[in-house]
Structure 1
């Protein structure tokens, strides 16, 4: 098949991440051409401060070197700026006159440093901090001059100031807000950070507005709005970024603050897409790496013609080292955005933790000095978990605390959110691939290769894997069968992260000992494929299948009492429409009865629903055979609709979190009834489960909502 032509404008992190994903999905589909206006290959812009501070060289932060482009057959133009997009002929043109045709075009032009309208800001001696050339300029200045000013007390400004200190320059930081990093921190954590940085030698000027840059032929300092001045030989501007959209505007692409894209990263012109800091999705332009990578993965699937969930937005977060201090921030943390749910300060350890809430759900968090809990708090904020889901404080800081957290972390939990790398993936890289160092794990899995905030936890997981070997994986859970060394947790994680066209492709990729597998593993793989990738057409694939694992029976019994307020038969029929098309990991039996006068054995069924004076009571985990198990109360619903949603969400949660061949009662004992209740009491998460159950089986239409319109007189 003739390859299509893909052109990428921008050689930065977002555009090349999309290219990497395309090569994973279909390496033969495109001839790819990349234009970058810098002379370097793709590098990690987030780690520029490490270069400035002397911790890394430029080669250390390169993500894809020259050989990578050559091996992939990518035509790379460096030092070339695209100045025109000819949408009518589907060509791009550079400033030097190069014209290249495209079938699909990705605009990934990123952003530039925002330069505020300060008088004299264009004088020699005033620079921004955005790329490798800026780093080199600052290092050159440090050889000749003594004093520096950084305008901007945000993350990048503080990193620049730390680098200038390391270069031997006296450094003042000017910030127009009352405290540092006011977008990511609260007053308490910002004051702790300021005290630490002042000990390192920085000086701060807060609530100050810069009126002009003083000096005749070159910058000699700044003048504040009040008239006072501050002398300096070098002035670094770091007050924010501005998306690079001029190219898109000149060719008629719809823009706002950035290039407007839809949920599949399409611009207003056919065959032209945008991704990264230059893209605006649902009114938001993201400047952090994790959202940009999420966009790149969606766009890669779109370009490769594969079904994909739409990009619906991201929860931005920051987990980094600010001048050697661990900092984590996510969600609504500013005053007035949310209420404080938890606030703790340890003066001995120098740590601070704050969690915010709104409407009873977790909405934001700040960690200072110890960010062990960062990934778990990020997960809670993303799913708007109830405040009751908050864990107890982490143990000792430092290596012991990290090592303990790594040991307790489930294999499925994400360590590197930027690249979606789980603990299990890191463990397998060490145990199965024989990797020995964090650097090797980084290169193999990409964990910690982006913002670097997860590096301490990644190193702790590597240490844990080296100490414990296979016994550390999922508590040494046994493999699915004799055809593989993977247990169910590992198999689920692998299938969730990658789509396979059929069962046998999955076996080949996952290193199955027997090419055709057996009845157990074929059925397991099929179930997980249907669960995580319901759009895949795998029905025609030849495999062994045990039909009993797809059976669900619903028993319904109504009371003879004419005064009974609950109509169990009507609710049961509504639930049956949603439940029966679903594939299940194990046979499930459900019982629904209108009242306690007709118990129908609800307490010894996998799902039991009964009418009671307080409303519908929903139980799960009952078992009538040996060993006999009594169902545990999941919750009470006042209305028929709430009862239906609670029952369906419970069954869907079981489908998603159980192992193939695991009964409901075994799943509840393994997960814990308290954790299951907390997840189901999260109303937003519960609704997501209901919608996913509808997607997997029979769509739940508005006129067929669970229990809608049911009453005792129907």
Structure 2
């Protein structure tokens, strides 16, 4: 007997709701019977590309993301031209529409998006006043251009500038009215906005800044604008592009909690069981997002929730915009408000039309603006998301020429996401070129989806295509291979050095069956010998590598690590006057480390030091791991060595509080455990791995938390610091 499918209904046929369905179909295509209710009479299309339709550079068919055939192929019931009016969540769970349809549901997603915000300006109801939000608005503006000559666009943000660019293409004069002192004031600063203005003026746009519209003039039909200072401008068409407001009417009418948007928790649930909300209509932790990448992040997470797949809670998104504004590449991310941040780096090249600024707060990277050349955007976004220290900024970054875009492409790590909207990495793009035959950015878009949504990553996609076509990928791999040192065998038992032995042990472990009864003693690194039959040199090393960070008790059945590696944290307990200091956070951290670290297998013994500050010397800088209180929090050092050769520890980062500092140190120790060779002291591993590599890994908050979590799971549980 076939199991009856659950009924999943999506209210909203836009980008967020349909992306969630795409993810659900990937995870479990047979789980749900799906229905979609869409108010517009179109299949799902890319709303970001409406300006292309207005400008005449794209047709409706070209911006469709999921044609009608897609819905039919996946058995999705699509109701277009239907407006949902009420959600019934009682015994009969149904969605009611304005036409009288009642569609049953077991799980329901509200993805109603947003509408254009209509400011309370006298005269907005007149003919000739149009918002710019959907395909119908595009059609109305195209018709207006056939009889009108002058257009006034209220709003100097991205949407207003794109609308003005489209109207210019339609043969109209376009004047942009903005109530701030510079364009795109939420994404740019005065300098970059000035460069953008000059470029757009060359294209034919005119601007009226610091202008407050008092009313729309004309009898019955718009004829112009009257401003607060008494000045006027003539217009046959007035376009409103001043922002958006979440569509929450359906939720409000159905008893769902609404603030600015539909309020959701970290699982994207509303207060009504079984009802979720994502996209521009949803409000999470007080924020309603209006950009594509956060919407897609929400869609992916919710899909996993709906398919009972493990996933992290949604913690919010780093807001950024990577766009092409009237032919100019622009990237803006994080906090760029000058009153809230300091400038870390800034450069401007007026000849090439390139501008770059990176902001910081308390020594950490807070935001960035790129204008004209956005090839660094991926690397900068990663630093901003991880709240990396400014030391992570490459020196001389931003000084490259346009041909340096390939250098930025080459430097980008393979696993980094190039297209955040569609979750496409550098490696996937290179594979599409070298293995899939894509030879242009459009070819990569067809193969991977990269640059197919907001289009902001297209410059990097194009640079990666050229980098791959130039042979950079293969030559880089060849060069790396040529630089690999030839390892001397560790002993006569195994034909491996440390690196080869580690790789062979892990590979052999992965090849074993997953049953719990498997005896690791049967593991073979070479066909003729079990690892347990090895000598006193290789046997403990293999044990360490195959144990994968198991506790000493768990590793006991397979032999004992011979050097009895230990971890010890020293806390200096006497102050400057020689008296014992009272219990402190430093003592708490030291006690926690000593208790927890005893349960960890280690490549070699280590010593750590924790100091309550300059007045409590404990040799922080000459220990494997050192932690010292400072005015900004806690400084973490690594790689120190008190004996020959004496080495001073390097600063890895600064933690805000004691709990974060303790976790920071544990993440560092776990990184050492996973990456070092058996018998390799921490200071030796640190010298081999390099400060930059260790710092970049631990400054990535996600990686740091994963390392600390693995460490905690592999050792005994110890209460957090109060």
TM-score category (smaller protein): 0.7 to 0.9
Residue in structure 2 matched with residue 183 of structure 1 by the alignment: 186
Q: Is the Cα–Cα contact under 8 Å of residues 320 and 331 in structure 2 kept in the other structure?
A: yes
Cα shift readout 1:167-197 (whole Å, capped 9, x = no counterpart): 1100011011111111111111111111111
CA–CA distance in structure 2, aligned partners of residues 439 and 95 of structure 1: 41
Q: Which residue of 692, 696, 704 corresponds with 2:709? A: 692
CA–CA distance in structure 1, aligned partners of residues 62 and 677 of structure 2: 44
Is residue 649 of structure 2 the alignment partner of residue 633 of structure 1?
yes
Is residue 23 of structure 2 the alignment partner of residue 21 of structure 1?
yes
Is residue 398 of structure 2 the alignment partner of residue 394 of structure 1?
yes
Q: Is the Cα–Cα contact under 8 Å of residues 385 and 679 in structure 1 kept in the other structure?
A: no
Q: 1:558 to 1:65 in 2, by over 3 A?
A: closer
Q: 1:603 to 1:350 in 2, by over 3 A?
A: closer
Residue in structure 2 matched with residue 588 of structure 1 by the alignment: 603
CA–CA distance in structure 2, aligned partners of residues 122 and 301 of structure 1: 44
Is residue 142 of structure 2 the alignment partner of residue 139 of structure 1?
yes
Q: Is the Cα–Cα contact under 8 Å of residues 567 and 594 in structure 2 kept in the other structure?
A: no
Is residue 669 of structure 2 the alignment partner of residue 651 of structure 1?
yes
Is residue 246 of structure 2 the alignment partner of residue 243 of structure 1?
yes
Residue in structure 2 matched with residue 548 of structure 1 by the alignment: 544
Q: Give the TM-score taking structure 1 as reference length.
A: 0.80
CA–CA distance in structure 2, aligned partners of residues 660 and 620 of structure 1: 15
Residue 25 of structure 1: SS of its match in structure 2? Answer: helix
Q: 1:461 to 1:22 in 2, by over 3 A?
A: same
Q: Which residue of 53, 56, 62 corresponds with 1:54? A: 56
CA–CA distance in structure 2, aligned partners of residues 694 and 61 of structure 1: 47
Q: Which residues in structure 2 correspond to 1:145-544 (within 5 Å)?
A: 145-391=148-394, 392-398=396-402, 400-468=403-471, 471=474, 520-521=506-507, 523=509
Is residue 624 of structure 2 the alignment partner of residue 608 of structure 1?
yes
Q: 1:87 to 1:215 in 2, by over 3 A?
A: same
Instruction: Report the Cα offset of residue 453 of structure 1.
Output: 0.5
Residue in structure 2 matched with residue 43 of structure 1 by the alignment: 45
Is residue 89 of structure 2 the alignment partner of residue 82 of structure 1?
no
Cα shift readout 1:419-471 (whole Å, capped 9, x = no counterpart): 23221121122233333332232133221111101001011112222332762
Q: Is the Cα–Cα contact under 8 Å of residues 269 and 277 in structure 2 kept in the other structure?
A: yes
Cα shift readout 1:486-531 (whole Å, capped 9, x = no counterpart): xxxxxxxxxxxxxxxxxxxxxxxxxxxxxxx9975464699xxxxx
Q: Which residues in structure 2 correspond to 1:84-163 (within 5 Å)?
A: 84-88=86-90, 89-163=92-166
Q: 1:70 to 1:678 in 2, by over 3 A?
A: closer
CA–CA distance in structure 2, aligned partners of residues 410 and 441 of structure 1: 18
Instruction: Report the Cα offset of residue 248 of structure 1.
Output: 0.4
Q: 1:617 to 1:52 in 2, by over 3 A?
A: closer
Cα shift readout 1:143-172 (whole Å, capped 9, x = no counterpart): 222111100000100000011111110001
Task: Decide which moves more: 419-428 or 294-303.
Answer: 419-428
Residue 86 of structure 1: SS of its match in structure 2? Answer: strand
Q: Which residue of 36, 40, 45 corresponds with 1:34? A: 36
Cα shift readout 1:229-279 (whole Å, capped 9, x = no counterpart): 211111110000000000000000000000000000000000000000000
Cα shift readout 1:51-81 (whole Å, capped 9, x = no counterpart): 2122222222111222222222212122221
Residue 260 of structure 1: SS of its match in structure 2? Answer: strand
Task: Decide which moves more: 683-692 or 306-315.
Answer: 683-692
Cα shift readout 1:373-425 (whole Å, capped 9, x = no counterpart): 11111111111111122222235443x12122112222122211222322112
In structure 1, stretches of 5+ residues that fail to align are 479-516, 527-537, 596-601, 709-714
Residue in structure 2 matched with residue 673 of structure 1 by the alignment: 691
Cα shift readout 1:657-704 (whole Å, capped 9, x = no counterpart): x59999778975675214424665x59789746753455435865x35
Residue in structure 2 matched with residue 5 of structure 1 by the alignment: 7
Residue in structure 1 matched with residue 74 of structure 2 by the alignment: 72
**Root-mean-square deviation (Å):** 4.1
Q: Is the Cα–Cα contact under 8 Å of residues 578 and 694 in structure 1 kept in the other structure?
A: no
CA–CA distance in structure 1, aligned partners of residues 569 and 122 of structure 2: 81
Residue in structure 1 matched with residue 484 of structure 2 by the alignment: none
Residue in structure 2 matched with residue 495 of structure 1 by the alignment: none
Q: 1:676 to 1:210 in 2, by over 3 A?
A: same
Q: Is the Cα–Cα contact under 8 Å of residues 245 and 255 in structure 1 kept in the other structure?
A: yes
Cα shift readout 1:620-647 (whole Å, capped 9, x = no counterpart): 499x9xxx99977244999998985553
Q: Is the Cα–Cα contact under 8 Å of residues 16 and 295 in structure 2 kept in the other structure?
A: yes
Q: Is the Cα–Cα contact under 8 Å of residues 691 and 700 in structure 1 kept in the other structure?
A: no
Q: Is the Cα–Cα contact under 8 Å of residues 266 and 315 in structure 2 kept in the other structure?
A: yes
Q: Is the Cα–Cα contact under 8 Å of residues 173 and 204 in structure 1 kept in the other structure?
A: yes
Q: Which has the larger radius of gyration?
A: 2
In structure 2, stretches of 5+ residues that fail to align are 482-502, 524-541, 552-563, 611-619
Q: Give the TM-score taking structure 2 as reference length.
A: 0.79
Q: Is the Cα–Cα contact under 8 Å of residues 577 and 698 in structure 1 kept in the other structure?
A: no
Residue 370 of structure 2: SS of its match in structure 1? Answer: strand
Residue in structure 2 matched with residue 533 of structure 1 by the alignment: none
Q: Is the Cα–Cα contact under 8 Å of residues 129 and 239 in structure 2 kept in the other structure?
A: yes
Q: Is the Cα–Cα contact under 8 Å of residues 609 and 627 in structure 2 kept in the other structure?
A: yes
Q: Is the Cα–Cα contact under 8 Å of residues 278 and 299 in structure 2 kept in the other structure?
A: yes
